[in-house]
Amino acid sequence: MITMENVCKSYRIAKRNAGLKEACKALFHREYEEIQALKNVSFTIKDGEMVGYIGPNGAGKSSTIKILSGILTPDSGQVTVDGRLLWNSGRRSLSSRQERCSRIEHVRQIGVVFGQRSQLWWDVPVIDSFELLKDIYSISESVYRKNLEELTELLNLGELLRTPTRQLSLGQRMRCEIAASLLHSPNILFLDEPTIGLDAVSKLAVRDFVKRLNKNHGTTVILTTHDMQDIEALASRIILIGKGQILMDGGLEDIRRGGENMDETLAELYRAYEI
């Protein structure tokens, strides 16, 4: 189960004014502004759910995923993932050793795919990246071989494993990225724009695999995407975020309006909430 309670996150960024004079001035006196990425975000996701987490660019989707995956620390609020309390602003911090052990245990139970970032080493064959991830996650040889065989078959990776990552097409690389995120048998999978830039055939392959993963292993899936066909194919529940706040949380049919398709529905929601 995943729980976020009243989570807030802000960023301090430098102001960038136009013109050479302003650029020179900023070298000696830089001004900053605070951006509120998340404002009291709260939701609960049950084990085995597939949830679409949607919103416009800058809404707070990626910040949420990074907090849940342990990359970012929130300013306040409580975050629990798979029974582990990652953050609680009302309690004393863990010791550095306890925190390190907690983070290690956390990353062993989650898988993360960022569509625009790679966890594969660029100049070596894909199988070498997999072998290194095996060591990083301390996966036993028997589990690694079993998972690799299953993922290779389901994602059709046989001819790709000996190919350097830089020589793969985007669709091929994304299939390998998904396999890399699942080698250690995580209970939770975070997918951030997993089909961005993929052709129709590759998108269908990714969607079919995620559905089978959820059905066969009960893996909890949190999907962020602008592709509403991904949402319709995979998610039974949608959480809409805008300007750092949760605006809507409901089933797919609850959010769909009349005979509108999901793109029309989403555009109407954006207009209604002025996001």
**Last-in-domain residue among 130, 153, 185:** 185
Q: Is the pLDDT of residue 273 over 60?
A: yes
**Last-in-domain residue among 185, 202, 231:** 185
Give me the pLDDT at residue 65, please. Answer: 93
Label residue 97 by pLDDT band (50, 70, 90): low
Q: What percent of the chain has pLDDT over 90?
A: 54
**Last-in-domain residue among 141, 166, 185:** 185
DSSP code of residue 125: B
Summarised one tens digit per residue, pLDDT across range 3-24 is 999 999 998 887 777 777 777 7
Q: Is the pLDDT of residue 212 over 70?
A: yes
Give me the pLDDT at residue 84, please. Answer: 84
Amino acid at site 5: E
Give me the pLDDT at residue 271, please. Answer: 85
Taking the C-alpha atoms of residue 173 and residue 188, their distance in angstroms, rounded to an integer, is 21
Strand partners, 7: 41
Q: Is the pLDDT of residue 136 over 80?
A: yes
Whether 90 and 202 share a structural domain? yes
- With residues binned 3-state (H G I as helix, E B as strand, rest as coil), the percentages for the chain, rounded to 5, are 40, 25, 35
248: containing domain: 2-109+186-273
Whether 58 and 173 share a structural domain? no
Give me the pLDDT at residue 258, please. Answer: 57
Give me the pLDDT at residue 48, please. Answer: 95
Summarised one tens digit per residue, pLDDT across range 154-175 is 888 999 999 999 999 988 998 9
Q: Is the pLDDT of residue 177 over 70?
A: yes
Strand partners, 248: 240
> Mean pLDDT for the chain?
87
Mean pLDDT of 229-246: 93
CB contact at 8 A, 45 and 175: no
Whether 238 and 139 share a structural domain? no
Summarised one tens digit per residue, pLDDT across range 33-48 is 888 999 999 999 999 9
Whether residue 114 is contained in a domain is answered as no
